[in-house]
Amino acid sequence: MRTVMEMRMVAMSGAIRAKPGWTVKMQDGAIRQKWTTEAKSQGLTDLEIKYVLEELDYYAKLKDWHPSTNEQVLNLIHPSLYPLFYDGSFLCQPIASPAAALEPLTIKQYCWLPSEFHVRDDGSVEVESYINNLHPVRHAKLYPTIANIFARFVPMFENMVTDLAFMQDGNPDLVESDGADSGESDVVGFDDEYRRWLETREFIPPPPEEFKMPDRPIPAFSFRSRRLQAIVKMSNIVLTPDKPEYEGGSWHVEAMANEHIVATGIYYYDVDNITESRLNFRQSIKRLIHYEQGDKRGVRLGYGIEVDGNLDAMLSQELGSVEALSGRCICFPNIYQHQVSGFKLKDPSKPGHRKILAFFLIDPSMRIPSTKVVPPQQQDWWAEKLFELPRFGSLPLTINDCLFEHIEWPMSLEKAREERLKLMAERSTNNETATSMYFEQRFNLCEHQHVCQLIPCCQHFNNRERGGPSNHRHKTAYGIVAWVLFYLFGGEIKLLDVHTI
C-alpha cells in the first residue's frame, strides 16, 4: 500500500514524463520553475518536489552511452552489459570456462550471451529465449520485429557459412609469362640508371585464366528447421551541433574465440543528416606471392600494398568499404577486420544519427551458453517481478528502495557498468594481440637479409645472364643454401617464394 505522499509524487513524475522531450525540457530552468509552481498549486511540498525532480534528473541520465565515445555512441541493446560471468553467473546447467584451452585469444572472465532463434520450415523465425538487455515483457512488441529482420538475414548467413566452408585461396590462377629475359651487364649492385628503370618500367599484370564454376554445393547450406544462436546489438551514433563530428572506430574483429562468432549481419535502419558513412574491411595475408626482392613498386601495383623506403610492408590488405544507407543490410564473415569511418553532420545546425541493428551469428556447429540457460541478471528485472508478489507489493516504495540497497545479486546497473569496463579492457588487449599477430605483422621485401650477406641477392642473381646448365645448378644450390639459412636464423620460411631464389 502506498502513502498519500507517494501517490502525489508518483502522479507528478508521471505527468512530467508524459510530456514530449521531457529529458531536454528538464534542463531548461524556466520550464523547471513552471513545473515547480504547478506542483505546489496541487499540494506538493518543496521537499516532495525536490525529490521528484532529482529522481527525474537521474532517469534522464540513464541513457547508456558507450564508454570512451564522448557521448556519441548510444547503446540500446549491447552484449557487453550483463554478459556471462564464468565465475559468477547462475546457470540452469553447469559449464566449464574454456579460457585455459583457448589461450591467448580467449577472454578469461566473460562471454557475450546469445539468444536462441528457431528457423522454421517456411523460413520464418521465432525468438525462443530472451534477448539480453531487452526486457521480454516491457518490450514484447520488439521481439517479433527482431525475429522478422533476422529471417531476412538467414539466406545471407546460409551463403556466408557455405562460402567459409569451401573457401579457397582468393588469388586467381595466373598465366605464367614465357617472355625471354634480357641480357644484363655484370656490374655488381644497382646503378642509378637501373634504379630509374625499375621505378618507371611498365607494369604488365598477367591475365587471369578463364572462370571455372566453384566446387561447392548448390544451393547453400540450409538453416531451415534449425535453431541458431545469435547475439543481438542495437546501437546509435548520435551527432549534435555541440558534437558535430564522429572520428571513427578502430580496426577490430568482433568478439573472442570462446564466443565462436562466424558472421556478422548489420541492418542500417535509420541514417539521417550525416555525411557519407562507410564500413571498411581488411584481411590479413599469410604471404606475398609472385614478387621479386625489393620490388616495392610491383607489390604496390600488383597487390595494392604500400612499401616504405626500408622495404617494410604490413601483411594486411584493405578490401574496400560499404556505405551505410538507410534500409541496407550487409553480411560479412568474422575473418575480416572492420572499421567505421568518420563522418559529421551534413547540416551542422541540426542533429543527425546512424542507427543499426546487428546480429552476431554463432558457429551453427557449436553450442555456447545462451539466455536459454542463463537467467536474466538485471536487478531491476528481478525486483519488478519480486514486488508483484503480495508479501512485497504492499510495502511502501521507500522500504523497497532500502531492500534494493542490500541485494548483491542479481547485479545492479552500476555494478554491471563497472564489469563492462573490465570486459572492454580484456577485449581491447586481446584485439591488440590479434591485430599485431595477424593484421599488422611486418614483412620486409628483403626478408632474407642474412642470405644477402653471404650470396648474391635474389634480384641481382635473377637478372644476371641465365640459361646455361651451370647457372641453373648454381641457382638451385643457392636456393638450398637460402632455405637452410632461413631455418638457422629463424626466418619466416612461409613468406619466401622459392621462385625468387
For residue 150, give the C-alpha cell.
533476422
For residue 46, give the C-alpha cell.
518543496
Burial string for 46-85 (b: 16+ CB within 10 Å, else e) reads eebbebbbeebeeeeeeebebeebeebbbbbbbbbbbbbb
For residue 406, give the C-alpha cell.
542490500
> What's the pLDDT at 219?
59
How far apart CA 101 and CA 87 sit, in angstroms, is 16
Residues 6 or more apart in contact with residue 227 via CB below 8 angstroms: 116, 117, 118, 119, 128
Mean pLDDT of 63-92: 76
> What interhelical angle do 46-60 and 4-17 show, nearest 10?
40
**pLDDT over 90 (residue 341):** yes
Sequence ranges of the domains in the chain: 1-62, 64-169+216-284+314-375+410-443+491-500
> What's the pLDDT at 448?
43
Q: What is the pLDDT of residues 98-117, one digit of tens each?
A: 544 444 444 468 899 999 99
Question: 136 versus 382: which is more confidently predicted?
Answer: 136
Render 319-333 in DSSP notation, one character per residue. EEEEE--TTEEEEEE
How far apart CA 339 and CA 251 sit, in angstroms, is 5
Backbone angles phi, psi at 211, to 5 degrees: -65, 135
Q: What is the pLDDT of residues 398-412, one digit of tens each?
A: 777 777 777 777 888
Q: Which listed CATH number (1.10.3470, 2.60.40, 1.10.150, 2.60.120) goes with 64-169+216-284+314-375+410-443+491-500?
A: 2.60.120
